Amino acid sequence: MITRVDNVDVLPGVGPKRLNALHELGIFTIEDLISYFPFRYEDLGERLPSETLDGEKVTFKGIVSAPAVVTRFGKKNQTRFGLLIEHENIRVTFFNQPWIAQNIDVGQEIAVYGTYNAAKAALTGMKMINASTDALDPIYPASKQVTAKTIRHLIELAWADVRGTLDSLVPTTIREKYRLLDRNSQIEAMHFPVDMLAAKAARRSAAFEEFFVFQMRLQLLKLADQNFAGEGINYDTLALEKFEAELPFDLTPAQQKVISEILQDQKRPRHMNRLLQGDVGSGKTVVAAMAMYAVVTAGMQAAIMAPTEILAQQHALNLAQLFENAGVSLRVELLTSGLKVAARRQLLEDLESGEIDILVGTHALLQPDVAFHHLGLAVIDEQHRFGVKQRAALRENGVNPDILAMTATPIPRTLSITAYGEMDVSVIDQLPIGRKAIQTTRMSHNQLDHAIAFVKKQIDAGAQAYVVTPLIEESESLDVQNATAMYEAMQLEFPQYTVGLLHGRLSNDEKKALMADFKANHIQILVATTVIEVGVDVPNATVMLILDADRFGLAQLHQLRGRVGRGHRQSYTILVADPKTDYGTARLDAMVETTNGFILAQRDLELRGSGDILGTKQSGVPEFVVGDPIKDLTMMEIAQQEAITLVSQKDWDQQADNHALVDYLSRTMAHYRHFD
Ligand SMILES: Nc1ncnc2c1ncn2[C@@H]1O[C@H](COP(=O)(O)OP(=O)(O)OP(=O)(O)O)[C@@H](O)[C@H]1O
């Protein structure tokens, strides 16, 4: 007797080679195998010959009217018999399946699936159908080494023993509430549905189960995290108040709210794992600065990690300035890859002895030789470029600091309850007062002159502009060429001004120097590739001119647009493009319609659809086998709610009804695919 916990090689026909191939499909145990679901079903569609077109695949059901005859020619053979369907006689031929003849008796009712030939009133048989279970043919994702047919066969073998023995993962009360199938019926109907309706019901139950188990893991991670003894940070409230009072602006109510959420977390002797979400330009940096300063006033250190060196450098500059202006003396240092060996050694020494208060860098901060004296807070900027894995790495680094992740990409609900489900979320839902909404226009290439004239007007009035040329994925050199050509053109257009050129081929030092010059208004027009996409903060820049804007994704366009409108001047984004696809047009339209990053992000997910696996991957939504977290968002939300409710119950993991779930979670948590 095979059970669900056995390894798949207990099945006959699974030798080392096949086992390997199954492992590659993620199938290790019998349970994995029976949870390996078809991605669609072929409707074998029982019909009458009169309803069937020539060449169509169809199932005919009828009475065998003429006995099966096997004819052999050399190594090949064919089996023929007659089938009476209502009043029509059809000749059925199977090639090279002589055993079929053994099961064909005149007068017997059978069903055959095959290709219909109308002129000859004949059917080329492909398979015999067992009318009760084979109405739909499940199609399994297969590989070169294991065919879908083999998988199906193995599932049939395993299911014969395992059916009826499975306890449901979703507790009974929840299943009853949402009318979900128990696990046995659900798996049975996934593999052997009697009709499409049954297949659908099974899929719904399976999707819910998948979401629910996923949300349970997130809740357990979250609980583990909260119970993880963090340090209560005893910050100096007076010092923080003084810092706030010295800021060159008043914090918005939204900023104040998130700061107090963060400070409360920090004070508690529990580990903080918080996501700070705020649209481009909403003022996350100062919030992070307050949180870091709090840690420093308690005698600890803070670190901030940015996705690129340019951004790290920007942060270091901005933070140092922010603290200096507020009369706070603390030591902010930047750790970059460009540091000379001796300088790096010195910096690491000072870090370890606690002389450095705030360390800024890229993920290079995660290197093993970077040892802090007492790290109390790690801020991760631009969350979406760090996966759950890196977050975990930080935690496992021994020090276990509080974590504050910041993202400017507004996170649609789908993402916040999947990709970030284990974190607490704070949202800055308001831009600083006095900001004027950025005006966005679309132009075609032949109107470029207007755009340039407009840029000129702005610069004459004392502002600055970005001109962005697209990244050409296939070729970095083409990319640089493009940007260089634009740079030269702009120099000709604007002889009286200084034009800068920023692209990925420049060294980090060159990039830094350029950005510093732009910030100081020594450069008025910065021609750049997307290297300036995130985080760059030059409030005097009011025009963002994007060439071939249809080549950018919505999130990227929104990020680019966010580089202007950061001061009190009216700002503009000009999208120059002649989109060739509807999708390209739709993206540009969305940009013109709204400046709200949240709406754009939702729109983006919808436009790309969940079919676009790559896009989804990039967006950070984990992959599911049955459910689709974008389409089935409501179901995901319900699963989350139910998981939260369940883990909040005392002794939930002791109750008999939850044993299967607890057992499943503990068996699979370690190699959980969503977190790989
Ligand atoms: N309350 C405020 N009032 C006025 N200006 C503010 C306020 N908070 C921040 N700013 C300024 O707004 C600009 C944008 O802030 P910041 O760089 O922190 O934005 P951000 O949220 O990090 O945006 P992005 O994700 O686009 O980098 C900065 O120049 C900052 O000094």
Q: Are 539 and 387 in contact (CB under 8 A)?
A: no
d(CA 8, CA 275): 41
Alpha helix locations (H) across 97-147?
A: none
Residue 522 Cα to ligand 1 middle (Å): 22
Q: What is the pLDDT of residue 141?
A: 86
Does residue 299 surpass a pLDDT of 50? yes
What does the alpha-carbon distance between residue 249 and residue 246 come to, in Å, rounded to a whole number?
Answer: 8
pLDDT band at 464; cut points 50, 70, 90:
very high
> To which H or E segment does residue 438 belong?
none
| Beta bridge partners of residue 304, listed in sequence order | 360, 379
pLDDT value of position 613: 34
pLDDT digits (tens, 9 = 90+) for 125-154: 888 877 555 567 788 888 888 888 899 999
pLDDT (tens digit, 9 = 90+) per residue, 212-225?
998 898 888 777 76
- Ligand 1 centroid to residue 312 C-alpha, Å: 16
By CB atoms closer than 10 A (0-12, 13-18, 19+), residue 238 is exposed
**Per-residue model confidence as pLDDT tens digits over 176-201:** 999 999 999 999 999 988 888 888 99
91 DSSP β-pair partners: 82, 122
620 pLDDT exceeds 60?
A: no
How far away, in angstroms, is 265 Cα from ligand 1 center? Answer: 23
> 545 or 340: whose pLDDT is higher?
545
What's the chain's average pLDDT?
85
> Taking the CA atoms of the chain, what radius of gyration do you get in angstroms?
32
527 to 455, 467, 498, 572, 649: CA distances (angstroms): 13, 5, 11, 16, 58
Residue 392 has pLDDT above 70, yes or no: no
The contacts of residue 478 (CB under 8 Å, 6+ apart) are 472
pTM over 0.80: no
Per-residue pLDDT at 615 exceeds 80: no
pLDDT in tens, 227-244: 666 678 889 999 999 999
Pocket test for ligand 1, best of 244, 249, 310, 428 (most atoms within 8 A of CB): 249
Distance CA 475, CA 32 (A): 42
Choice among 3-7, 285-289, 418-422 with the minimum mean pLDDT: 418-422
pLDDT digits (tens, 9 = 90+) for 478-517: 666 778 888 999 999 999 999 999 887 888 788 888 888 9
Residues 47 and 59: beta-carbon distance below 8 Å = yes
Buried b (16+ CB within 10 A) or exposed e, 526-563: bbbbbbbbbbbbbebbbbbbbbbbbbbebbbbbbbbbb
Backbone angles phi, psi at 252, to 5 degrees: -75, 155
For the beta carbon of residue 304, count every other beta carbon within 10 angstroms.
27
Most confident of 318-322, 411-415, 469-473, 477-481: 318-322
Best of 252, 280, 285, 308 for a ligand 1 pocket test (most atoms within 8 Å of beta carbon): 285
Distances (CA, A) of 35 to 140, 163, 180, 218, 655: 11, 12, 17, 21, 25
Under 8 Å CB-to-CB from 401, ≥6 apart: which residues?
Answer: 303, 375, 376, 377, 378, 394
- Residue among 284, 313, 438, 564 whose CB has most ligand 1 atoms within 8 A, to mutate: 284
Q: Which domains does the chain have, with CATH numbers?
A: 8-41+138-195 (no CATH), 45-129 (2.40.50.140), 439-594 (3.40.50.300)
As a whole number of angstroms, the distance between CA 358 and CA 350 comes to 11
Do residues 8 and 27 make contact, with C-beta atoms less than 8 angstroms apart? Answer: yes
Helix axes 196-227, 659-668, angle to 10 degrees: 70
Q: Is 462 a residue whose pLDDT tops 90?
A: yes
* Of 259 and 3, the one with more pLDDT: 259
- Confirm or reject: Cβ of 98 under 6 Å from ligand 1: no
Q: Say yes or no: CB of residue 535 within 6 Å of ligand 1.
A: yes
The pLDDT score that the predictor gives to residue 383 is 58
CA distance 619 to 470: 20
